[in-house]
Structure 1
Amino acid sequence: MPRKPPIVFPQEQRLLSELGERLRLARLRRKLSNAVVAQRAGISRTTLYKVEAGDPGATLGSYVRVLAVLGLENDLQALAADDKVGRKLQDLALAPPARRPRAAGKRTDPAPPPDTKPSS
């Protein structure tokens, strides 16, 4: 029984479609047929069509195999490489807690020195 495809929001679908289109264009620039890329990637032509269409049902492994056949697998190194939000959250967790200011009326001064009597 086939699995239900994952729920994909429009923005995510747009990202997948754009990725698929870039992969298709990369294949065409290299003058490779879809049959050749599918064979080298070890996937079916139907799966390659899904990858190039940005189908969310295509596995990440299929995308990686196509990237590898096209010589673009190192592009994966750039994904989430600069996690600005995560680093800020990490820095906030590492910062020492801020000290609370003392209340104005509760200032404690050191005790005055005891009275000393001059020796006679």
Structure 2
Amino acid sequence: MPRKPPAVFPQEQRLLSELGERLRLARKRRKLSNAVVAQRAGVSRTTVYKVEAGNPGATLGAYVRVLAVLGLEGDLHLLAADDRIEHKLQDQALEPSSNTRRRKTNPSSAQNREGFV
């Protein structure tokens, strides 16, 4: 019995549809039929149709296989490569908070530790 695909928000569906359309256009530019892509990817023609339609029920593996057949698998390295949110969180953690008091160093004690008198 086929599983029901998960609920997808409209923005996510739009992203999948746009990806599918780009894959369809890439296939057509290469003058490949759905049947040829399906055979080379090791998936069914129905799966290729689902990928090109941006169907959320198509597995990530199916998308990867179609990308590989089209020679676009290198683009996967760009996904989530620049985690801007994590960078902002790290930067905030590095900033001194307003409650933190800076410790004043006594210049003479610093000289004594370094061997200067």
Same fold (TM over 0.5): yes
Q: Secondary structure at the match of 1:80?
A: coil
The separation in 1 between residues aligned to 2:83 and 2:44, in whole angstroms, is 35
Equivalents in 2 of 1:96, 1:37: separation in Å? 55
User: What stretches of structure 1 of length at least 5 have no aligned partner?
Assistant: 102-120
- The percentage of aligned residue pairs carrying the same residue is 80
Residues paired across the two proteins, number: 101
Counterpart secondary structure, 1:13: helix
Partner of 2:75: 75
Question: Residue in 1 aligned with 2:57?
Answer: 57
Question: TM-score under structure 2 normalisation?
Answer: 0.80
Q: Which residue of 1 aligns with 2:42?
A: 42
The separation in 2 between residues aligned to 1:86 and 1:79, in whole angstroms, is: 15
Report the equivalent of 2:21: 21
Larger radius of gyration: 1
Residues in 2 aligned to 1:89 and 1:95: alpha-carbon distance in whole angstroms: 10
How big is the shift at 1:12? 0.5
Q: Distance in 1 between matches of 2:20 and 2:94?
A: 40
**Structure 2: runs of 5 or more not aligned:** 102-117
Q: How well do the aligned residues superpose, as a CA RMSD in angstroms?
A: 1.4
